[in-house]
Structure formats: C-alpha cells, structure tokens
Amino acid sequence: MNRIAECKLASGKKLSYVITDNPPRGGMKYTYFTPDRSYVVQFFNEPHKIDYNMRSRIEAIIGRYNPTLPEKAGGAIGNDEKIADYFKERFCWLTDIVVEPEFGIVSPAYPLNFFFDGNASQFLDLNGKDKKSNWFTSSNRRFLNRSELGDFRSMIQMSLLLSRSIRRLHQAGLAHSDLSNNNVLIDPRTGNCVVIDIDSLVVPGIYPPEVAGTRGYIAPEVLSTMELDRNDPRRVIPSSSTDLHALAVLIYEYLFNRHPLMGPKIFSSESAEKDDFLGLGEMALFTEHPTDASNRPNSYRWGIRDLGPILEKLFLRAFVDGLHNPYMRPSAMEWERGLVTTWDLLHKCSNPDCSKRWFVLYDVQNPVCPFCQTRASDKNIVRFHLNSEIRGHQGQWRQYSELDIVNNTPLFKWHMISGIFPDEKSDKSLQAYVCCHNDKWYLINSDASGLLSPKGNPVPAGQAIHLQDNTVFRASREDRGMLIRVKITPNIPGGTAGLF
C-alpha cells in the first residue's frame, strides 16, 4: 500500500515522496516520485557501496559542473541564467542529495512528452512507459502509431539538440560515459530529446567512470580492451572521445533507423558472443564503408550520400577514419554545426505519403527525395548563397553557407550576419522572410536593421526586395553583413536520386 514519506536533503530542505510496493528499478537505483510527480527521489540498490568518491562526484555534478545552474549560483563556469534555463530542458540534471533516511539523489521527473500515452500503439500497452530511443530506431517502430514517429526533419532537430547537449557537457569538462539509447529519451513528434542518468558522469582525471557503457554504443577501443585488468595501461576507459562514438551512433540511428556497424558480415563462427564482440570492437566495420562493402546489407536504398556532403564527411570521419582512431572523430560541436548547416537545406517532399516528409536538397539539379523517389513539384528551386567578406580583404567574398528557399522561409540573424551561430545564446527573433506571390519571389524585411536593396538603398521594416535569378544584396550594413546571391534553377524533370 502506498504511503507518504519524507526525506531530508543536503540543502537543508525536506521533500515528501510516495513509497510504492514495486518502485521502478534500474541497475543501480530504484525510484520514488513526489506526490505531484514533478521530482523523483532515487535510492541505491547497494547502499553499502556508496563511498566518498561517489558522494564527492555527485556533489561536483550538482555544483561546479552543472550546466543547468548559473555560475553565480554555484553552477558551471560561464553559465548565465539564460544558458542555465536552456539546458534545464536538455538534461534531467540532479538538483540535490538525500541525506536521510539514507543516501540518495533528487532530480526533476521527465517532462510528460517523454512518456507514451494510451494512443501510442494499437499492439502494445505502452501507456506511461518512457520514450527510450530504441522504440523509434529499431524494428520496434512497427508497433508504434504513425503519429509517434515524427519525420526526417524532427530527427535532424533531435540530432542537433543532442549534439549541443554533449558539446556543453564536454565544454564543462565532463563525459557521460554511458551515452546510449537508454540514456537519451526522445520525442520525434516535437523533435526534442533529454539526456538522463547524470549521476555517473565522468570528470577526467578526477572521477573515473563506473560503467563501461551499453552494447552497441561502447567505443571499439573500450570493448576490445575490456577484458584487461582495470589497472592495465592498455585498457581504455570511457571518456569524452568514447562519448563521440556513441553520439555518432545515435545520430546515425535517428536518421536511418538502423545501426551503423551491425551488418551481415560474420566476424567469428566460434560463437554469437565472439562474433558480436569482434563486430562491435576490434574488427568493427562501417556498413557504408566506401571501399569495403562486406558488411553492407543488400536492403540499403539510401545512405549517408543522401544527406549532403557535410554530414557524409562527418559520418565517414566517425565510422571510417575515427572508428579505431578516437582522435579522428568529429567533436560534438562539429556535429552541431554540420546539422545546423544541413537544416537550412531541408526541403519538403512533394509526396504526401512519404514517410520521411523532408529530405536534404543538396543537389538543385536533381531535386528528388531519396526516401520515396519523388521529384520536387516546385516550378523552380530557389537557393540563397550566403557570402561573408574575407577578413582583411575588403570587397572579396567567400561562400559561407546556403539556404533552401520555399514560401515563408524565415531568416534569422545568423543568415544575415557572419560569425553568429544559432546556439543556446543566440537571438532567435525573426529578421525577414521570403514569400512567393504570383510566381514572383520577395524578401520581406520584418525587423532587420541595415538591410540594403540590390542598388544599395535601405530597405526599412515592412518593405520588400523583389528576388530574381542572380539578384545580389547586402543583408546588413554591418562589417560582418552577408552578401546574399539568389539562384533560381528551373526544375526540369529527369534524373534519379542517389542510390547504392
């Protein structure tokens, strides 16, 4: 029978929680909720193993390494209230330590959108279960209703948000050590994700890892040396570089709903366990390796080439160059930047029945959705080429990025002024937008200061620039204001999508 209990926290506060007969239990902890279910109180399965190092690790995670707490309140260095509030939505971070009746931890409960409701599946009762990533990235997808699955754009967004969260962890000097489908909850409907299980974070050189990781996400160098003694200098332990392997695996799974290393190749006929050990460790081989197709399933109809050259190169670095060389892996910041650039090239598929709904339109000469083979129905493909001035060379420009244009495409400051990146600190107010009226394209100034017409005249808020092929204009008078060139390419039927 449920009953209300009270615990004392390290901060001096008291917190009520509901004791249940069969609390949710994981490998290390079991969980009770507060009466309003806004917080969870967790106790350890083996409290006798709690030592000074674990306590001090958790104290440091709650305090000086905490990206969800402003620096002035004892949180991570460089954090202001805006950054702290942003990352409160990206992590379920610990907020306090329980000191009585026994050692434990307190953290916010997962937001409701990370739990399934009663309408999630026609085949399974998932009501109340948390949305771990593998519900969406494996064959489990077939049990979920279409409304739960999101689309390709929402998966790009989740990949971006996860990259940003891991980048922030690494900037704070932390590593997750067990980044996996179990420790990232996702909501493809909204494109959001949250990183959980924060209490085992690694502080390199201070607080070592307590776990090796989760199958399928453990870096090959960790898996292949796991049988060595913990004190053997050849043994590799989880760190920020092994996080980068797990991050790349998760991003690949989000975008393709399959694992990047689990293909048909047999690495050992001795046993399934050894085959798995070698195929994910010492002999791991990317299923899309450009010169070795021995681990590639015949069922692949699309792959990393269909994501555009930026993400393709990042995946090749992660799973070819960096698969067995951790120092070659892309950083979380590189993934974040690559995904931001790719976001600007997303194009809505013309096929209303396309399961992905969006694709990366990187080749304007061949605007075909790789997922359903449908050619874009647009009369013209409109692209903004954003150019920044070369520092120290006035009047000389180089391409900074590109932006795919459709009706009502918004422009923000990072599209108009070079050197601005859309991260947790950026101003996300609308500056301008593009609309199509009677087959003519216009850029409407919403709130951009310094926007200039092709002739160099000011364009005040509420006014428009008529856009034609090769129209060129300054997005801002500022020194870092972009030079935008408009390219309108007629959509002439013909050609095929890139396939293997």
269-281 per-position pLDDT tens digit: 999 999 999 999 9
Task: Provide the pLDDT for residue 497.
Answer: 39
Taking only the tens place, the pLDDT of each residue in 333-351 is 999 999 999 999 999 999 9
**Mean pLDDT, residues 392-413 taken together:** 91
CATH number of 114-343: 1.10.510.10
Task: Indicate whether this model's pTM tops 0.85.
Answer: yes
Q: Are 351 and 175 in contact (CB under 8 A)?
A: no
One fold for 1-109 and 362-490: no
Helix orientation angle between 332-343 and 152-171, rounded to the nearest 10 degrees? 150
Q: How confident is the model at residue 393 (pLDDT cuts 50, 70, 90)?
A: confident
Q: Which candidate, 27, 179, 28, places its Cα nearest to that of 103?
A: 28
Q: Which candidate, 410, 18, 55, places its Cα nearest to that of 199?
A: 55
Task: Return the minimum-mean-pLDDT range out of 94-98, 125-129, 211-215, 259-263.
Answer: 211-215
Question: In angstroms, rounded to a whole number, what is the distance separating the alpha carbons of residues 118 and 275?
Answer: 39
Topology of the domain covering 1-109:
Phosphorylase Kinase; domain 1 (3.30.200)
Provide the mean pLDDT of the chain.
Answer: 93
Taking only the tens place, the pLDDT of each residue in 93-105 is 999 999 999 999 9
Question: In angstroms, rounded to a whole number, what is the distance separating the alpha carbons of residues 138 and 144?
Answer: 11
Cis peptide before 209 (omega within 30 of 0): no
Beta bridge partner(s), residue 265 = none
**Which residues 6+ apart lie within 8 Å of 371 measured at CB?**
152, 302, 349, 354, 355, 356, 359
Task: Provide the pLDDT for residue 176.
Answer: 92
Residue scoring higher pLDDT (350 or 496): 350
Q: Is the pLDDT of residue 212 over 80?
A: no
Share of the chain above pLDDT 70, in %: 98
DSSP state of 45: S
**Mean pLDDT, residues 96-116 taken together:** 94
SS3 107: strand
Question: In angstroms, rounded to a whole number, what is the distance separating the alpha carbons of residues 401 and 303?
Answer: 23
CATH pick for 362-490 out of 3.40.47.10, 3.30.460.80, 2.60.200.20, 3.30.56.10: 2.60.200.20
**Mean pLDDT, residues 64-68 taken together:** 93
**Mean pLDDT, residues 22-33 taken together:** 88
Taking only the tens place, the pLDDT of each residue in 444-465 is 999 999 999 999 999 999 999 9
- What length does the chain have? 500
Instruction: Render 393-431 in DSSP notation, one character per residue.
Output: -TT-EEEEEEEEE-TTEEE-HHHHBTT---STTS-----
Question: In angstroms, rounded to a whole number, what is the distance separating the alpha carbons of residues 242 and 177?
Answer: 7
Task: Provide the pLDDT for residue 494.
Answer: 57
Share of the chain above pLDDT 90, in %: 81
Q: Are 247 and 166 in contact (CB under 8 A)?
A: yes
SS3 302: coil
Query: What are the C-alpha distances in Å from 349 to residues 63, 204, 305, 378, 433?
Result: 46, 45, 18, 10, 21
DSSP state of 341: H
Burial of 184 (0-12, 13-18, 19+ CB in 10 A): buried
Question: In angstroms, rounded to a whole number, what is the distance separating the alpha carbons of residues 157 and 343?
Answer: 8
Highest mean pLDDT out of 44-58, 121-135, 325-339, 388-402: 325-339
Residue-range domain boundaries for the chain: 1-109, 114-343, 362-490
> Does the CA dihedral 442-447-451-453 come out positive or negative?
positive
